[in-house]
Amino acid sequence: MKIHIITIFDKNRLGRALAFRESLAKYAPGCHVRFLCLDQEAYDMTNRLNLDDTTAMLPEELDDKELLATRAGRTNPEFASTCKPALLSYMMESGVVEQNDLLVFIDDDFFFYQPLLPLFEKIYHSGSIAITPHRFPPHREHETATKGIYNAGIVFFKNDPEARKCLKEWRLQCLKWCYLRYENGQIGDQGYLSDWPKKYKGVYEIPDIGVNLGTWNIKNYKITRNVGGDLMIDDQPLICYHFHGLRLYLNKQNKVRAYPITVLHSGIYKPCIEALEKAYIGLMIVDPKWVYGTIARPSMLRLLKQAILRLKY
């Protein structure tokens, strides 16, 4: 089984993609990663960094005129979501991903904490398509109606007829409508996933609560460490966390920090913030003006106010 991993981002998220890539290299060594860069700056910088086992692409390389025609009417995040099934289909149809290889899309704001090969092998033998439910806590269960049953931040496809059938239809759906708002039962590329278990054979709902843990469901669980120091979500290991909504700024020493309000658990967030700091140091060595993806430094009063609500990194 050969594993192919892809992600999509623009220059504002390259730092996150580099932190993602670092943790992936640690826990899935040898896996090749393909970056679809939505602008020339992200593409050029990725190539200048000369990352191991990483290929950078631009949307034009997909040779998908229908996809490119949607760009003018969509925001960058909306176009990124539109690109997702198009890129996945391209990877399979072009022969880059061979028959029965495993193709994985992962958002650039993921970070990994455990070896991934056991998860990949389990998914490979469990069906054609694998998805993760949102697992909203009780007070947020109503959000299933507007955000979908499943989270599209990480999706797995074995290159077989059923997965290709799914991706072809998903591509067409996203070309027609893919906006970051709730409308007629849809939200971006994500709402379409709710129908997959009924429409396609071999759809596997990943039961591991430590896969795609995120800001929307972290309050469901007790977080501890086992005797080996691994982070545990109830009684299961944390495999990957989805840092959705993480806001970053540079302090006076140009070190990356996260707004306290977005740090939901210091033990989970600390290694990711450290990887992000390393990523930005590397970017600013190449280009001292590279501050894309950060927001204005908060005032001391703002930090103190937020520290009341969340543990400060």
Q: Where are the domains of the chain?
A: 3-210
pLDDT score of 236: 97
The CATH number corresponding to 3-210 among 3.40.30.10, 3.40.50.300, 3.30.70.890, 3.90.550.10 equals 3.90.550.10
pLDDT score of 9: 98
**Parallel/antiparallel/unpaired status of strands 54-57 and 32-37:** parallel
Q: At 138, which amino acid appears? A: P
d(C-alpha 103, C-alpha 156), whole Å? 6
Radius of gyration for the chain, computed over Cα atoms and rounded to the nearest angstrom:
19
Encode pLDDT of 101-123 as tens digits. 999 999 999 999 999 999 999 99
Between 14-27 and 40-49, two packed helices, what is the crossing angle to 10 degrees? 40
d(C-alpha 277, C-alpha 258), whole Å? 10
pLDDT score of 313: 36
Encode pLDDT of 237-274 as tens digits. 999 999 999 999 998 888 899 987 788 899 999 999 99
Encode pLDDT of 54-80 as tens digits. 999 999 999 999 999 999 999 999 999
Residue indicated by tokens 């591991």: 208
Band of pLDDT at residue 308, cut at 50, 70 and 90: low
Query: Average pLDDT for residues 304-310, to the nearest whole number?
Result: 67
Residue 163 token pair: 């997965």
* Mean pLDDT, the chain, whole residue set: 94
pLDDT score of 114: 98
* SS3 call for 284: helix
pLDDT score of 309: 62
Encode pLDDT of 153-196 as tens digits. 999 999 999 999 999 999 999 999 999 999 988 999 999 999 99
Band of pLDDT at residue 32, cut at 50, 70 and 90: very high
Residue indicated by tokens 């140091």: 281
pLDDT score of 186: 92
d(C-alpha 173, C-alpha 186), whole Å? 10
The values of phi and psi at residue 142, to 5°, are -60, -20
Q: Are residues 156 and 102 in contact, defined by beta-carbon separation less than 8 angstroms? A: yes
pLDDT score of 310: 55
